[in-house]
Chain A
């Protein structure tokens, strides 16, 4: 295996440092001393006979490999939108070394067989680790529990369970699911959406939905479920994770639940940190997503919640769709937008460049915390000697205009096309092996 020396990059917010990657681990971390490191390497090379590739990280940030708690890879079933291969390529390009693949595939990932299939496809692809999420209920139908234990015991070792795309709205079923996964320390990741309050809902219910004649998706439909589930999780003493929090009220509720000491975690999506419902005025369904883009006040509250730790995680909700499902009437279009390849740039713009998060904060929200919640061994570890070399080298001073046709994802439904975003992923390492080098797939 090759050896890599990253020179002059800041580990999180630190001073310029040289980082040697060898045998899949961070072999040495040393203060950058111009040519000193390279000289040492020459000695090492002579000793081991291997070659060391130097990656110039001057002015860049070295972060732990990102972990996504919420990715739709679409395989099996919708290989026209994304495959495990293309989705993990997109993940690597975005600096991710691990993704959780949501269960709403066809067939649904509600058995040990399907989760193992997705897990194997991820291993074969090799661009990043794939951890399948298991469905909570059979076929996502919300009627009876899927075999959660079998999925937990499978080779895929499932710990996160979600009916994402649909809410486990039945309170009894939700209670049982929360209780049941305690047996293997699993977590229920809830898609909080009260179904009756959101029938045929198209966009955030607000002044604009009334004017555009698009059926509203009211904040209360999210908040009512979050309130209920926090109370249920506390009552049964289990772990709850709240997916894609989108409203100011939800942030308040989660802050309250945490103040009680309850075991509740929550995620925000990059698009909810940057975009608002005003984009729907174009009737361009590229901006149609579930939960919908909300008001500027909600965006502010989410940023504040992410900054103070009320929201633990940034998760992409990467949702690829084929062109024809977005090139149509708003009402007929699919919900969802791409996220993996732009997540870090969006977080930089919304959180870092605004002074709300340091790079250490970004590492916590995009690597350590999601790895903890998903219980992923080897991921979300600090950049330190002896740790697995899951790393992303990021140049925050670069700027780029997002070009949909250049994305690694099979789909093109990015809401940022044509928009200038800060930053660029220069290299991603998965257990010491580059998956991205010089900004290109390795």
Chain B
């Protein structure tokens, strides 16, 4: 693996499969009475959040603590309009404190890239979501969840599995990272959205796109619903919430057209009644809660592989 995880495109297929296999080991730890490994003892991991995200932060925090790392949470307020301390000064401060890895969430696309490459810091940088760019650990936990459900009956891989990602692709870092990673892992990705919410140039991503959710559901192995923020409503991306839900929402009727083994995912937080109805979110097919569990295991795997080096995470002599 590279020193940083900035984009899902940084991962080769071997890298990605190593993360998934390591995550599987990490997940088995959850069944042990003592859920902690000494692997990163004495290492310092900073969660640097320029944008609120309690879920992602506590997931990384739990992952780091289970690996015995010291964790520092650093919330830096500020936006492009109300400038707080600059990214550079924050990075220099963290460098001076001796951070081994910086997990960064930022409102600006490319901020983790800058942190990794501007020469301000020598730490490993993990992108925990940047602007409308990428969220690679979310894609890894999504892939891990799919892999656990679908790979055993598919020769141990996601080759040829059909993943449908539905919603605000334009503003979604989750969709970008998933489109990259799932194709690396051999899956076929279809993005479904109203034309206004597909990015310019999406035809170069190697994915299939569709405006018609009903047409693609019967063949899907995975349906991933994306959150649609209500503020998009006022920007004429679609006429009304009701029309959006009718055309692109996942409800009981649509769920009935899925194959038996198809799973339904959502990166959270959900807006029930908008992109997904309660009966789908709470159904047998829904793996939304499992995604959260898997998130900790995948982030443990990523931190371990970036910082821990070559030794097996779970030694035989414990």
Q: How long is the Cα–Cα vector from A209 to B107 in the complex, in angstroms?
A: 16
Instruction: Give chain B's interface residues, CB within 8 Å of chain A.
Output: 80, 83, 86-88, 106-111, 113-114, 117-118, 130-134, 173, 176, 199-202, 204-205
Does A329 lie within 8 Å of B114, measured CB to CB? yes
Tally of chain A residues near chain B (CB < 8 A): 23
B34 to chain A, nearest CB (A): 40
A283 at the binding interface (Cβ < 8 Å): yes
Q: Which of A229-262 contact B (CB under 8 A)?
A: none
Return chain A residues, CB-CB under 8 Å to B86: 324, 327-328
Interchain CB contact under 8 A, A327 and B88: yes
Chain B residues, Cβ within 8 Å of A330:
108-110, 114
A209 touches B200 (CB 8 A): yes
B108 and A208 contacting across the interface, CB-CB below 8 Å: no
A328–B107 CA distance with the chains assembled, in angstroms: 13
> In the complex, A59→B108 CA distance in Å?
50
Q: How far is the CB of A298 from chain B (nearest CB, A)?
A: 15
Return chain B residues, CB-CB under 8 Å to A328.
Answer: 86-88, 114
Q: A214 an interface residue at 8 Å Cβ cutoff?
A: yes
- CB of A210 within 8 A of CB of B109, answer no
Any B CB within 8 A of the CB of A205: yes
Chain A's closest residue to B176 (CB) is A213
Q: How far is the CA of A30 from the CA of B115 in the complex (A)?
A: 60
CA distance A265 to B83 in the complex (A): 40
The reply to whether the CB of A117 lies closer than 8 angstroms to some CB of chain B is no
Considering the chains assembled together, what is the distance between the CA atoms of A283 and B87 in angstroms? 14
For residue A91, give the distance in angstroms from its CB to the closest CB of chain B. Answer: 31
Q: How far is the CA of A279 from the CA of B207 in the complex (A)?
A: 25
User: Are B80 and A212 touching (Cβ within 8 A)?
Assistant: no
Q: Whole-angstrom distance between the alpha carbons of A213 and B172 in the complex?
A: 9
- Are A329 and B176 closer than 8 Å at their CB atoms? no
A211 is contacted by which of B106, B107, B108, B201 (Cβ under 8 Å)?
B201
For A216, the chain B residues whose CB sits under 8 A away are 200
- A residues engaging B (CB < 8 A)? 205-216, 218, 282-284, 324, 327-332
Instruction: Report B208 CB to chain A, min CB distance, Å.
Output: 16
Q: Is the CB of B110 within 8 A of A329?
A: yes
For A210, the chain B residues whose CB sits under 8 A away are 199-202, 205
Chain A residue nearest in CB terms to B133 = A213
User: Considering the chains assembled together, what is the distance between the CA atoms of A216 and B106 in angstroms?
Assistant: 19
- Which of A212, A216, A324 has the most B CB atoms < 10 Å from its CB? A212
In the complex, which residue of chain A has the Cβ closest to the Cβ of B199? A210
Residues of A within 8 A of B176 (CB): 211, 213
A328 to B87, alpha carbons, bound, how many Å? Answer: 7
- Chain B residues near A218 (CB-CB < 8 A): 200
What residues of B have a CB within 8 angstroms of the CB of A206 in the complex? 200-201
Considering only CB atoms, which chain B residue lies closest to A213 in the complex?
Answer: B133
A-B contact pairs, 18 of them (CB 8 A): A207-B201, A210-B199, A212-B110, A213-B110, A213-B176, A214-B109, A214-B132, A283-B111, A283-B114, A284-B114, A324-B86, A327-B118, A329-B80, A329-B108, A329-B111, A330-B108, A331-B108, A332-B80
**How far does the alpha carbon of A216 sit from the alpha carbon of B170 in the complex, in Å?**
11
CB distance from B83 to the nearest CB of A (A): 7
Contact of A213 with B130 in the complex, beta carbons under 8 Å: yes
